[in-house]
Structure 1
Amino acid sequence: MVTIEPTRDRFTRNYLIFLGVLGGLLLAWWLPTLDPRVWGLNDQLATDPELAVYSYRFRVQSIDNGVARVYSPRSTRIPALRFLAIVEPRLRGRHANDPQVIAAQRKLGKVQGRAREIVLFHPGVSRLVWVEDIDWYARRGIVIP
């Protein structure tokens, strides 16, 4: 039996080579970002009883040279009250010195402190850097300037 291969023109051949090289480069760029230590810490943060009941999920972005970069809802560009009003709608329209707002801020500090403890307890982490969770705000329609 004779099989006839369709002939490909030069453009198609070059285009397929380009796509293959581009795919290889993207794969080579993406693979080093996979870090089982990050997955493990994110699992610990998600299953911790104190953190699991809080409205915001703390997540580790990366670990480089012993420095863990952890997402945080706190931002120097967004008032804490704005975040708190999102996760606890009963606080909307209240003043910063309202006892419920102060209690919510303390709770956020306690929960964030617990996330910090978990991350710093990991043997591969010696320091923690908080990273603004811009995507979290963007998913809620808030643009951080």
Structure 2
Amino acid sequence: MDRLTRNSIIISAILLVLLIISLSVSQNELRPRVWQLNELLEKDPVLASYPYQFRVLLFLNGVVTLTSPHASEVPLEPFLAKVDPKAAGKPKDSPEMRAAEQHFREIEMRAIQVMVSQPDIRSVVWSLDKAWYHKNRVPSGR
């Protein structure tokens, strides 16, 4: 084996080892940002204890799109009746339904706080989680 080939093999092996080391160290950095943000939501103890799990659908230019069981075109009461047994079967203006709505709003704000605590996130927008309504057989009003 000539000297040039030997040196090329040694340099290639060193570069390969350095690449493997850098990949193993920065494993977290190679995953898509959406996955990282979803892990943040899953690891938050307040959000993890709520029956609905918010998810990141899209992250683009500092704006995160989160799933939500509520949107302006869909009433919140069917969702609350499904996830909060105290609100099930209660009228919209009952104390149980108002308490369930207040709790949902607090959880929703927590999801926003978790997201905007990240330095690369400026704002959050919501996307109606139609799949949740379908999966749970809850009429979405549409």
Q: 1:43 aligns with which of 39, 45, 48?
A: 39
Report the aligned-residue RMSD. 1.7
Question: What is the alpha-carbon distance in structure 1 between the residues aligned to residue 122 and residue 88 of structure 2?
Answer: 38
| 1:98–1:143 CA distance, 2 compared to 1 (3 A) | closer
Letter in 2 for 1:58: F
Indicate whether 1:67 and 2:63 are aligned.
yes
Indicate whether 1:135 and 2:131 are aligned.
yes
Q: TM-score, normalised by structure 1?
A: 0.71
Indicate whether 1:54 and 2:50 are aligned.
yes
Give the aligned partner of residue 123 of structure 1.
Answer: 119
Q: CA deviation at 1:88?
A: 1.4
Unaligned runs of 5+ in 2: 1-29
Indicate whether 1:109 and 2:81 are aligned.
no
Q: CA deviation at 1:136?
A: 0.8
Letter in 2 for 1:65: N
Give the aligned partner of residue 6 of structure 1.
Answer: none
Q: CA deviation at 1:90?
A: 3.2
Question: What is the alpha-carbon distance in structure 2 between the residues aligned to residue 139 and residue 66 of structure 1?
Answer: 30
Q: CA deviation at 1:89?
A: 3.0
| 1:86–1:138 CA distance, 2 compared to 1 (3 A) | same
Question: What is the alpha-carbon distance in structure 2 between the residues aligned to residue 104 and residue 67 of structure 1?
Answer: 28
